C-alpha cells in the first residue's frame, strides 16, 4: 500500500544541526531496565525500532561518570572503552536502517545515590536524594565544575567513537542540571545561583562543552521541562521558567521538552490522555527557531499530523508507542493503520527500570525478548507441523496464542464461553478509567480477521469431552481466573474464618458483572494494584460511602513501579474515599468488621454493609485437570498435548497473560532443545 498524502508531513526529513533525520518519528530517551548491564538485549531491542522505521532512536539516560550511578535502576553509561563497544553494537543497527542514534548524557547529582560505585555525588547543594535513600550529595566546589566539564567532554568524545549522531544534555527530572535551574532547589549565592542568568550558567556551559567537542558532526539536544513544578506556596512558576528558557533557547540544535511532573509526562492512561503534555510545553516553539520534539503517548497518525501542522512540535516524540509498536512508522507509511499495536498506557514497561529487570510490554510481548529468545514483533517463524490447535478461552492469553499460532500457519480453533472475546480486558475496560485496556483485544481481533486458518467460536463453553471432540492435536487452556471472595490472599494465606458469607461479600467479578453493593462499603485491598482503587472510587462516585482498607501502607503500592501510585492515592482522596492502611480483616458479622493492625495486632471495629474483596484470584483450571486426567487414562484420543497458559496457569498482570500466549505459540514444535531462560547478557570489561 502507498502512503496517504495527508501523512507526507510525517515523512519529511528534518535537519538537526549538522545531521538530518529521515522522518519525524523520534524515539525519545526511555528506560529499558537493560543499560550497561545488558548490552546485547539493548542493541537488539533498539535495532528493532530502527527496522520499524523510526528516524531517530535514543538511548536511556547515559551516565558520564561513575559518580553518577543509579543502580538499582539500570542506566546506560559511557565511562570507558567497554561502553563504546557496547553502544557500537546498537548504533550500527540503527545506521543499517537509516536512523540517527542519540545518547542522553546524564549526571544525576543527588538523585544518583551511587549504591554500586559508592562515590559521593555532587549537586547544587548538599541534599538528600528524592528516592528516599539515606545519603546526601556534597555541594559542588570550583574543582567539581571543572571536573564536570571534563567528564561531559570525555563522554561526548566516547559518544562520537560509539557512532552516535546526537548527544544530549539531560536537564530535567530532578537531576543536576535541573536542580541548578530551579528556584526551589538552587540556594547558591555564587555565580551559579540567584538570577536567571546565573542559574542557567551550568546548562549554558554544558551545551558549550558539547558543541565545542563534537558539535561539528553531532547534533546537541537538550531535554528540558518548559513548565516547572509548583513552589511551596502553590504558585506556578511558568513565567520564571520562560525567562530561563529565553537564556538558552537558541543554544542547542534540538529541544526535547516534557512536563516537569512525571505524573503528566509518564501518566498512565487512567489519568492522562494522548497529547497530555501539550498544555505544559506549547509555548516553546514560539520562543526558539530550533526543532522541538515532545511526547504525548501518540498512537493516532492524525493526531501526529495535527501536532506538526499546528506548530506544537516538529517531530513526534514517542517512548511508549515505540515500545508497544516498534513498527509504528512503517505501518503509517504503508497505510496499515489497523495493524498498529496501540499502547494502552498501563506503564508496565516502566517497571523494568524501577525493578532493575529488562523491559516488558503488555501489548508487545516480544519487547525485551529480541535477543534472548530471538522474537520479532511482526514476524514469526512458520509452523513446524500440520498440527491443529484448540485454544479454550479468548482472554489476553488465548487471544495472543491464537494470533501468533495463526500467523505461524497452524489451523486454530478458538472457543470462548461468552458472547464476546476479550476475557478480562473486555470486562475491565468497562470500569471507569480503564477503557484503553480494550486495545489488547482490538489489536488481536483485527489480526484474526485476516487469517483464514483461524476459526472463532463464541458462546461456546466447552467441557472436557466437548474439547476432545474437536479432535485437535494440541489443546491450550486459557480459561483465566476468578477473584476470590473468601479473603485468601497475600496476607491471609488461608480463607478468613469468621466471615459472614452472605450476599454482602462482593468481588471485582461481581462489580464488573454489574452486581453492586450499596450503603457503607469496605473495599478490602490485599492485591496492591489498580483494581481496588478503581472499584473504591467508582462505588464512592456511585453514591456508596466507601472505606478503602488495605494491609499495605499506601494505596496501589505496585503503582510505585508504574509511576501511578501518588496519582491513584490522590484520586481516591479527592473522590472522598476514606483510607485505612496497615489493617487486616479478622471477621465480618454482616454489620461490623473486626480489623487487626498489621504491626501491633490491636483490634478495632468498623461498621459496614458490604465488603468488596480484592485479594487474590483462583485459576479456572478444572478443565485443565480433567483433560490431563483423561490423557493420563489414555482416553484423550489422538490429542498430543494439553497445556494451560495465562491466568489459568498463574494469575498475574495482563502483560503476563499476553506473554504466556506468545511463549506457547513460539515454542510449539520447537525441537531446538535450547533453554532460552538460561541466556544471560553481560558487558565484558577490558
Among ligand ADP, ligand SF4, none, what binds residue 370 when CB lies within 5 to 8 Å by partner kind? none
361 binds, among ligand SF4, ligand ADP, none (CB under 5 to 8 A by kind): ligand SF4
Rounded Cα distance between 442 and 363, Å, is: 11
Tell me if residue 561 falls in helix, strand or coil. helix
Task: Report, in Å, the least distance between residue 511 CB and ligand ADP.
Answer: 15
H/E stretch holding 415: strand 411-415
Using CB under 6 A as the binding rule, whether residue 619 contacts ligand ADP is answered as no
Residue 365 interacting with ligand ADP (CB under 6 A): no
Q: Which residue has the cell 483490634?
A: 603
CB of 173 to ligand ADP, least distance (A): 34
The answer to the question of residue 657 lying near ligand ADP (CB under 6 A) is yes
For 547-597, where are the alpha helices, taking DSSP H only?
A: 559-562, 565-575
Q: Are 157 and 214 in contact (CB under 8 A)?
A: yes
The whole-angstrom distance between residue 603's C-alpha and the CA centroid of its chain comes to 39
- Which of the listed partners (ligand SF4, ligand ADP, none) does 363 bind, with a CB threshold of 5 to 8 Å by partner kind? ligand SF4
| Residue 396 found at the interface with ligand ADP (CB under 6 A) | yes
Q: Which of 67, 363, 479, 492 binds ligand SF4 (CB under 6 A)?
A: 363
> Which one of 26-34, 78-86, 415-423, 578-586 is the stretch in contact with ligand ADP (CB under 6 A)?
415-423
The Cα–Cα gap between 598 and 601 comes to 6
Which x/- pattern over 284-323 shows residues binding ligand SF4 (rule: CB under 6 A)?
A: ------------------------------------x--x
The pairing of strands 14-16 and 19-21 is antiparallel
Taking CB within 5 to 8 Å according to partner kind, which of ligand SF4, ligand ADP, none is near residue 348? ligand SF4
Query: Using the rule CB under 6 A, is 45 a contact of ligand SF4?
Result: no
Q: Compute the distance between CA of residue 302 and CA of residue 345 in angstroms, rounded to an integer.
A: 19
Q: Nearer to ligand ADP by C-beta: 68 or 429?
A: 429
24 binds ligand ADP (CB under 6 A): no
Phi (first) and psi of residue 123, to 5 degrees = -155, -170
Site size for ligand ADP (CB under 6 A) = 25
Minimum CB–partner distance for residue 198 and ligand SF4 (Å)? 39
Quote the cell numbers at residue 617. Answer: 484470584
Rounded to whole angstroms, the Cα distance separating 674 from 666 reads 13
Residue 324's contacts (CB-CB under 8 Å, 6 or more residues apart) are 299, 341, 342, 343, 344, 361, 362, 363, 364, 367
> Cα dist. 604→61, 584, 588 in Å?
48, 10, 12
Using the rule CB under 6 A, is 362 a contact of ligand SF4? yes
Residues 78-97 that bind ligand ADP (CB under 6 A): none
For ligand SF4, the closer CB: 624 or 659: 659
Contact 418, 458 (CB under 8 A): yes
Cβ closer to ligand SF4: 222 or 531?
Answer: 531
Q: Which stretch binds ligand ADP (CB under 6 A): 364-372, 389-397, 493-501, 676-684?
A: 389-397
Q: Which of 33, 267, 317, 345 binds ligand SF4 (CB under 6 A)?
A: 345
Binding mask 453-492 for ligand ADP (x = CB under 6 A): --------xx---------------xxxx-----------
Binding partner at 346 among ligand ADP, ligand SF4, none, C-beta below 5 to 8 Å by kind: ligand SF4
Taking the complex as a whole, the smallest distance from the CB of residue 615 to ligand SF4 amounts, in Å, to: 24
Residues 6+ apart with CB under 8 A from 41: 32, 34, 358, 368, 370, 371, 372, 681
Output b/e per residue, 326-336; b: 16+ Cβ within 10 A.
bbbbbbbbeee
Q: Which three cell numbers stand for residue 76?
A: 546506560
Report the residue from 394, 414, 534, 655 that binds ligand ADP according to the rule CB under 6 A.
394
Instruction: Report how far residue 555's alpha carbon sits from residue 566's, in angstroms, rounded to the nearest whole number.
Output: 8
Q: Contact positions toward ligand ADP, by CB under 6 A? A: 392-398, 415-418, 423-424, 461-462, 478-481, 620, 623, 646-648, 657
Q: What are the residues binding ligand SF4 (CB under 6 A)?
A: 320, 323-324, 343-349, 361-363
Amino acid at each position: 500500500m502507498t502512503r496517504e498524502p495527508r501523512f507526507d508531513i510525517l515523512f519529511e526529513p528534518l535537519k538537526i544541526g549538522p545531521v538530518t533525520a529521515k522522518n519525524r518519528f523520534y524515539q525519545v530517551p526511555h528506560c529499558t531496565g537493560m543499560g550497561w548491564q545488558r548490552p546485547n538485549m539493548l542493541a537488539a531491542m533498539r535495532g528493532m525500532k530502527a527496522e520499524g522505521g523510526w528516524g531517530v532512536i535514543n538511548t536511556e539516560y547515559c551516565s558520564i561518570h561513575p559518580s553518577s550511578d543509579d543502580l538499582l535502576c539500570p542506566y546506560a553509561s559511557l565511562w570507558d572503552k567497554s561502553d563504546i563497544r557496547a553502544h557500537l553494537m546498537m548504533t550500527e543497527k540503527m545506521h543499517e536502517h537509516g536512523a540517527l542514534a542519540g545518547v542522553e548524557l546524564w549526571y544525576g547529582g543527588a538523585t544518583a545515590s551511587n549504591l554500586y560505585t559508592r562515590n559521593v555525588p555532587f549537586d547544587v547543594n548538599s541534599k538528600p536524594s528524592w528516592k528516599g535513600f539515606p545519603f546526601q550529595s556534597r555541594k559542588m566546589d570550583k574543582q567539581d565544575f571543572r571536573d564536570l566539564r571534563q567528564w561531559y567532554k570525555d563522554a561526548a568524545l566516547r559518544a562520537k567513537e560509539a557512532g552516535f549522531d546526537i548527544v544530549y544534555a539531560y536537564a530535567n527530572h530532578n537531576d543536576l542540571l535541573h536542580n541548578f535551574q530551579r528556584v526551589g532547589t538552587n540556594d547558591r549565592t555564587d555565580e551559579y545561583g540567584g538570577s536567571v542568568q546565573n542559574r542557567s550558567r551550568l546548562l549554558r556551559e554544558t551545551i558549550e562543552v558539547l558543541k565545542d567537542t563534537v558539535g561539528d558532526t553531532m547534533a546537541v539536544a537538550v531535554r528540558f521541562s518548559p513548565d516547572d513544578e509548583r513552589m511551596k506556596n502553590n504558585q506556578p512558576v511558568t513565567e520564571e521558567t520562560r525567562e530561563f528558557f529565553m537564556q538558552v533557547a537558541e543554544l542547542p540544535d534540538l529541544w526535547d521538552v516534557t512536563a516537569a511532573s512525571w505524573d503528566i509526562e509518564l501518566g498512565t492512561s487512567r489519568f492522562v490522555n494522548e497529547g497530555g503534555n501539550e498544555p505544559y510545553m506549547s509555548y516553546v516553539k514560539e520562543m526558539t527557531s530550533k526543532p522541538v520534539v515532545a511526547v504525548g503517548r501518540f498512537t493516532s497518525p492524525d493526531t501526529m499530523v495535527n501536532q506538526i501542522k499546528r506548530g506544537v512540535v516538529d517531530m513526534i516524540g514517542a517512548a511508549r508507542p515505540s515500545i508497544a509498536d516498534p513498527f509504528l512508522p512503517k505501518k503509517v507509511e504503508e497505510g496499515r493503520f489497523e495493524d498498529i499495536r496501540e499502547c494502552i498506557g498501563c506503564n508496565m514497561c516502566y517497571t523494568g527500570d524501577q525493578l532493575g529487570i529488562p523491559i516488558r510490554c503488555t501489548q508487545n510481548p516480544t519487547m525485551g525478548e529480541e535477543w534472548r529468545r530471538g522474537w520479532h514483533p511482526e514476524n514469526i517463524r512458520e509452523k513446524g507441523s500440520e498440527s491443529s490447535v484448540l485454544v479454550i478461552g479468548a482472554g489476553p492469553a488465548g487471544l495472543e496464542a491464537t494470533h501468533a499460532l495463526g500467523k505461524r500457519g497452524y489451523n486454530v480453533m478458538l472457543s470462548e464461553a461468552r458472547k464476546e472475546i476479550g476475557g478480562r480486558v473486555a470486562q475491565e475496560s468497562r470500569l471507569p478509567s480503564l477503557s484503553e485496556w480494550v486495545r489488547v483485544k482490538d489489536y488481536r481481533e483485527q489480526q484474526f480477521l485476516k487469517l483464514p486458518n483461524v476459526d472463532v467460536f463464541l458462546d461456546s463453553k466447552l467441557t472436557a469431552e466437548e474439547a476432545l471432540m474437536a479432535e485437535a492435536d494440541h489443546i491450550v487452556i486459557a480459561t483465566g481466573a476468578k477473584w476470590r471472595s473468601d479473603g485468601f490472599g497475600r496476607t491471609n494465606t488461608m480463607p478468613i474464618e469468621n466471615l459472614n458469607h452472605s450476599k454482602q461479600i462482593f468481588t471485582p467479578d461481581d462489580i464488573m458483572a454489574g452486581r453492586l453493593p450499596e450503603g457503607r462499603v469496605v473495599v478490602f485491598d490485599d492485591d496492591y494494584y489498580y483494581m481496588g482503587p478503581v472499584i473504591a472510587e467508582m462505588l464512592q462516585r456511585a453514591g456508596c460511602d466507601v472505606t478503602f482498607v488495605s494491609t499495605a501502607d499506601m494505596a496501589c503500592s505496585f503503582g510505585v513501579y508504574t509511576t501511578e501510585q501518588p496519582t491513584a492515592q490522590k484520586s481516591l482522596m479527592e473522590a472522598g474515599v476514606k483510607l485505612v492502611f496497615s489493617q487486616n480483616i479478622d471477621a465480618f458479622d454482616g454489620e461490623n468488621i473486626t480489623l487487626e493492625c498489621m504491626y501491633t495486632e490491636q483490634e478495632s471495629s468498623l461498621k459496614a454493609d458490604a465488603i468488596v474483596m480484592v485479594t487474590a484470584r483462583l485459576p479456572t483450571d478444572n478443565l485443565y485437570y480433567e483433560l490431563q486426567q483423561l490423557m493420563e487414562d489414555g482416553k484423550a484420543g489422538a490429542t498430543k498435548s494439553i497445556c494451560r497458559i495465562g491466568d489459568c496457569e498463574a494469575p498475574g498482570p495482563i502483560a503476563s497473560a499476553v506473554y504466556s500466549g506468545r511463549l506457547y505459540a513460539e515454542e510449539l514444535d520447537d525441537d531446538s532443545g535450547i533453554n532460552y531462560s538460561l541466556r544471560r547478557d553481560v558487558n565484558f570489561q577490558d
